[in-house]
Amino acid sequence: MSEIIGVIGSGTMGNGIAQVAARAGYTVVMRDVSDAFLQRGISAIDKSLQRDVDKERLSTEEKQSIIGRIRTTTELEPLRDASFVIEAVTEDLTVKTEVFKALDRLTSPETILASNTSSISITRLGAATSRPEKVVGMHFMNPVPVMKLVEVIRGIATSDETYEKVRGLTDKMGKTALDCNDSPGFVSNRVLMPMINEAVFTLYEGVATRESIDGIMQLGMNHPMGPLALADFIGLDVCLAILNVLYDGFGDPKYRACPLLKRYVDAGWLGRKTGRGFYQY
Ligand SMILES: NC(=O)c1ccc[n+]([C@@H]2O[C@H](COP(=O)([O-])OP(=O)(O)OC[C@H]3O[C@@H](n4cnc5c(N)ncnc54)[C@H](O)[C@@H]3O)[C@@H](O)[C@H]2O)c1
């Protein structure tokens, strides 16, 4: 049997990670808290692979064998023999800490425990285990099967050996690993979120319309999506939460979230997922 990759969480990111790992030839064990969530994850994988079949980038047999390499479970036990486990559960420190403690008890001391967190400190997750040198951030981008980058985050104790193994895994998944040290927002969100926030401020202050703001960044900076449309895609609640992590982490007012962003989140206008954000869907 091929090497086992464990994936915890079968939501947007978890099912994407399971798909690329299985496509790279690994046996995948995907765990969630209910069969209904797991079913939803598998059908998202099926749909995503079917698009490649329709575009003749993948045969139906290959699609079936990729899905056949993904085992689903609501238990932790089947993850015991995994050589890597990638955690992609809800962005909540308590939930993630519990997952890391349980994985630390269950898996071999050699197993690498990775988190796909967007903002939680890898150093803190590492400290919850007896193997902080084997704990690392693997920050995949959404949608996982499409986006090339994996931002690899080294906690204060993450070893070079762990980093090299993670790099090997990302290469096999057809992704590019770029590393950074553990710091609020890592690199990706520390650079992206202030840009999005500033775009919201320009809207708030009436500097330009949403269409102008997005158009200026698309046509002028060659961004594929304007910052307001991108915020809607990410989720305005997620953007606000990450800005708050930056604000708290650095104690610097330059990361203060725009009041308009807070107001939209208060209204439940969270972007594409709720049908309304800066645009209507
Ligand atoms: N959505 C994005 O664009 C994006 C991008 C990069 C990173 N992330 C990060 O990825 C992680 C997951 O985000 P998502 O968007 O996939 O969330 P999601 O809500 O779509 O999925 C989370 C899944 O985790 C499951 N879960 C919760 N507790 C669990 C547990 N103890 N064991 C197993 N499963 C559990 C939930 O049932 C749910 O299915 C978060 O840390 C998030 O910050 C998200």
What's the pLDDT score for residue 269?
98
Q: Is 142 an active-site residue?
A: no
Burial of 252 (0-12, 13-18, 19+ CB in 10 A): exposed
Pocket of ligand 1 (CB under 6 A): 8-14, 31-33, 37, 88-91, 95, 99, 116-118, 139, 142, 234
**Distance, CA 228 to ligand 1 centroid (Å)?**
23
Q: Is 154 helix (H, G, I), strand (E, B) or coil?
A: strand
Flag whether pLDDT at 244 surpasses 90: yes
The single residue listed with the structure tokens 């906690």 is: 155
Q: What is the pLDDT of residues 196-238, one digit of tens each?
A: 999 999 999 999 999 999 999 999 999 999 999 999 999 999 9
What's the pLDDT score for residue 228?
98
What's the pLDDT score for residue 179?
94
CA–CA distances in Å: residue 146 to residues 19, 136, 149, 172: 11, 22, 9, 15
**Distance, CA 49 to ligand 1 centroid (Å)?**
21
- Residue spans of alpha helices (H) in the chain: 12-23, 35-54, 60-68, 93-106, 122-127, 160-172, 188-204, 210-221, 227-234, 236-250, 259-267
- Give the pLDDT mean for 134-146: 97
Q: What is the pLDDT of residues 94-133, one digit of tens each?
A: 999 999 999 999 999 999 999 999 989 999 999 999 999 9
> In ligand 1, which atom is closest to the CA atom of 34?
37
Flag whether pLDDT at 1 surpasses 80: no
Flag whether pLDDT at 258 surpasses 90: yes
What's the pLDDT score for residue 2?
75
Q: What is the pLDDT of residues 29-82, one digit of tens each?
A: 999 999 999 999 999 999 999 999 999 999 999 999 999 999 999 999 999 999
Considering the candidates 115, 116, 121, 189, report the single residue annotated as catalytic.
189
Considering the candidates 118, 119, 121, 197, report the single residue annotated as catalytic.
118
What is the pTM (predicted TM-score) of this model? 0.93
Q: Is 231 helix (H, G, I), strand (E, B) or coil?
A: helix
The β-bridge relationship of strands 149-154 and 176-181 is parallel
Which amino acid residue places its CA nearest to atom 28 of ligand 1? 89
Flag whether pLDDT at 253 surpasses 80: yes
